[in-house]
Structure 1
């Protein structure tokens, strides 16, 4: 656990450098005063609110990638996250995220501009890395798959409620597994590092598990908004919430086991500790946290 904490602290230091690099990108625009970067720079706050950003950086560190390139990849990861969040905001009529565009009051326009801004930064960063145009296409293909999966969540598309297996395959592989894998797509294509490919497989499992967890906490909200929900399908098939959580936890542990096999400083005990924290952050009812006692 001590090695893991040290690794995340080192990741936090690089994360701060990434934020500074992004701020330098923003000041190049005449509308820089209208860009508000709402971030925390303290380790414990970032561990709680930006865990996956630190996790991605830690993977790059463990893959022995040069710090300068980690910062470049970190900027891209941050921008991809901003684009996905802005898209979700348009769908859900919300204004979440760490980057806010000021003086554009209408939500759709604000988030479209946010997407365009961060796509431009990604393009410039890829140009500075001197990569081939095929990488631009690969990013777009993956984002299309995620968007397509998100579009299938509309209950009005179906005559009857889809099965658990259908939702997991056709929806969650995009909005869960692929969404988390997306952060490593650029380093994988550029670095040709076999460890990154294996880490990506672990991220897929973790992403699938945490999206399943999100569905459990969003059952009522998704029902109200007529959206397909994995937990609803599972429970309706005469299965229990406890088994749903157990399966979700097991899948996440499989992902972290892949990390452990790559000599990442994590074991089952520390993985369970992190997952319990993530369960709490995502608002899982306290009574369900007893599931950890069975592992």
Structure 2
């Protein structure tokens, strides 16, 4: 077992089975388009251990939905929504980074931007159909609108990262509220947006959302530390850089990114890790079977994925 906690391990394995069913159901939906002959929905045949590494947060979302008392049939639909949201975000990243990743691909298009744009239209169409299927007649049909508003908030937060927008480097409090809130906290919790709207008065789900927000903020802060030099070169605002500027009263161009003071690294890492623990504690206190040992294990894996093996010592 990849995690010693038997209840959590069982929960994640059950979520893995639901994920596979969601993927297969989505593949059938994609096959209904007339141009399916040119389109492929790639379903990986990976085992649980491989999926745990690649799809940890998707498995976590499905596990939280299950722990919230939602029936498996509906979780399968929510799983499709989560996959489609990931595809939309990935397609945007593909355009920005000149890459070709995801689960849906369209052959015969030489222009990556055109392919990614069309894939996004397909994903949005499938997303709307799935949400409509889940909404009852008594509902106000508002889930898609709220989801779009959430996506807009994330996009706006991303746009505020441009350094050229600011005469002086913004304070870390501004970065946390206006940039990290959307691209960190909201980006992680967005998978629960539709269930939050449709599963009315589910108190557990709302609490889990709060925990995910904190974990998302922590991980974005961790990414910023890892990307300090890269963000400087790309003229992006970075929380770790902002924190360093305020602590040492230094201009950004004078920072030696490869030789940061040990006291700064230790202080920053402790704040990042503590915020993640706060998020894990919220999940645990609302019934999710996550022990302190499990939280440390997950953090270590996330550090390794981000290339931060040298900083695992700060996870205590």
TM-score range with shorter-chain normalisation? over 0.9
> Do the aligned partners of residues 214 and 263 (structure 1) sit closer, same or farther apart at CA in structure 2, a change above 3 Å counting?
same
> Is 1:66 paired with 2:71?
yes
- Which residue number in structure 2 is paired with residue 209 of structure 1? 218
Post-superposition offset of 1:38: 5.4
1:129 lines up with 2:152 in the alignment = no
Q: Which residue of 1 aligns with 2:208?
A: 199
Q: Is the 8 A contact 1:149 1:171 kept in 2?
A: yes
Please say which of residues 107-116 and 12-21 is displaced more in the overlay. Answer: 107-116
What secondary structure, in the 3-state scheme, does the structure 1 residue paired with 2:105 have? Answer: strand
Task: Provide the C-alpha distance between the structure 2 equivalents of 1:273 and 1:209, rounded to a whole number of angstroms.
Answer: 15
1:40: how far off?
4.7
CA change 1:216–1:44 in 2 (3 A) is same
Q: For each residue in 1:108-158, what CA deviation from the matched residue of structure 2 results, as whole angstroms up to 9, or x when unmatched?
A: 212211211110001111121134322221111111100100101111111
Tell me whether 1:91 sits opposite 2:96 in the alignment: yes
Residue equivalent to 1:168: 176
Answering whether residue 314 of structure 2 is matched by residue 291 of structure 1, we say yes
Question: Which residue, out of 29, 33, 38, partners 1:29?
Answer: 33
Q: CA 1:155/1:95 → structure 2, altered by over 3 Å: closer, same or farther?
A: farther
Deviations 1:44-98 (A, max 9, x none): 1111011110000000111111111001111111111111121222233333333
Q: Which runs of 4+ in 1 moved over 4 A?
A: none
Per-residue displacement from partner, 1:218-266 (whole Å, max 9, x unpaired)? 2222222211111111222237122111111110110110111111111
**Kept in 2: contact 1:90–1:108 (CA 8 A):** yes
1:205-244 alignment to 2 at 5 Å? 205-238=214-247, 240-244=264-268
Matched residue SS, 1:133:
coil
SS at match of 1:263: coil
Q: Decide whether the 8 Å contact of 1:36 with 1:102 is kept in 2.
A: no
Aligned to 1:183: 191
- Partner of residue 105, structure 1: 110
- Is the contact between residue 242 and residue 288 of structure 1 (CA under 8 Å) also seen in structure 2? no
Q: CA shift at 1:272, angstroms?
A: 0.8
What CA RMSD, in Å, does the superposition of the two structures yield over aligned residues? Answer: 1.5
- Mark the runs of 5 or more structure 1 residues left unpaired by the alignment: none
Distance 1:16 1:174 in 2: 29
Q: Judge conservation of contact 1:260–1:267 (CA < 8 Å) in 2.
A: yes
Secondary structure of the structure 2 residue equivalent to 1:237: helix
Q: How many residue pairs are counted as aligned between the two chains?
A: 292
CA contact (8 A) 1:135 1:186 kept: yes
Give 1 or 2 for the bigger CA radius of gyration: 2
> What is the SS of the residue equivalent to 1:240?
helix
